[in-house]
Amino acid sequence: MISLFENIKAVVLDLDGVILKSNEIKAEAFRVLFKDYPTYGDAIVRLHYQRGGMGRHEKLNTIITAILGEPSDSERLIRLSDQYKEIVKEQMLDCEFADGALDFIKNASSYYELFIASGTPEEELQDLICNRGLNHFFSGVFGSPRGKGEILRDILAMKNLLPSHVVFIGDSIDDYMGAQHSGVKFIGIANNPNQNSLYKMAENIKLLVSNLGNLNSKWKAP
């Protein structure tokens, strides 16, 4: 057994790119959302892939201020977030599971408490998980505006767990940093070196796999 898996009581999963093959759907949605700024399309998509775990409002704010160079306000962020939600809504209901994800969830839920920590707004995230018939696998489904580190710390407190009892599986630098800030273990998902920022940090990550199916072959449940 890999020591990373010892004493685990809870597994926390990111959504996009870990459970669902939705990173490209969401990247294209940002391009559509900012179609009036075609010059900045590639930079916006690049930010999405580099900071995949960033909460939606924070990401929109970064796009507006750092890429477009325009002022941002809460009204604009809410409007853009609602538009983005409508762009991706049906596609998120229909998109494929990431390779091996559903089998991993089914297997792991027999031995551990499972949670989701995502940058998707929490109510929208919970509706999606419920509508896809996955809610019974999870003890909690959490999203933005809380960041990954805050969500992980809240799970530790809520379940009275030590950081060594929890592993977070994510595919972005924000996921990795959330694990670092909360002290939990981390497993990285990375299958595209041109898009995934975790490749640059591979030497700092104890286990980096291409998908949950690949992790299934390494993970030995108690």
Res. 221 pLDDT band, cuts 50 70 90: low
| CB burial string 148-164: b at 16+ within 10 A, e below | bbbbbbbbbeeeebeee
| CATH class for the domain made up of 3-21+97-216 | alpha beta
Q: How confident is the model at residue 191, as a pLDDT?
A: 74
State the chain's mean pLDDT as an integer: 90
Model pTM?
0.90
Measured between alpha carbons, how far is 72 from 23 in angstroms, rounded to an integer? 25
Q: Work out the pLDDT band at 1, boundaries 50, 70, 90.
A: very low
Question: Quick one: pLDDT at residue 85?
Answer: 92
Q: How far is CA 44 from the centre of its chain?
A: 18
Top pLDDT among 23 and 160 is at: 160
- Say how far apart CA 107 and CA 194 lie, in whole Å: 31
Confidence (pLDDT) at 204:
75
Does pLDDT of 195 surpass 60? no
> pLDDT-based confidence at 200, cuts 50/70/90?
low
Tokens at 47, concatenated: 């930010």
Write the pLDDT tens digit of every residue in 79-103: 999 999 999 999 999 999 999 999 9
CA 197 to chain centre: 13
Q: Per-residue pLDDT tens for 24-77?
A: 999 999 999 999 999 999 999 998 888 877 888 999 999 999 999 999 999 999
In angstroms, the CA 30 to CA 175 distance is: 20
Q: What is the DSSP letter of 97?
A: B
Q: What does the domain layout of the chain look like in residue ranges? A: 3-21+97-216, 23-94
Query: Could you read off the pLDDT of 129-140 as tens digits, one per residue?
Result: 999 999 999 999
* Closest to 143 measured CA to CA, from 171, 165, 115: 115
Between strands 208-209 and 140-144, the pairing is unpaired
Percent of the chain residues topping a pLDDT of 90: 74
Say whether 56 sits in a helix, a strand or coil: helix
What's the pLDDT score for residue 216? 84
pLDDT of residue 5: 76
pLDDT band of 169, cuts 50, 70, 90:
very high
pLDDT for 14 equals 97
Q: What is the C-alpha separation between 137 and 112, in angstroms, rounded?
A: 10
Mean pLDDT computed over 117-122: 93
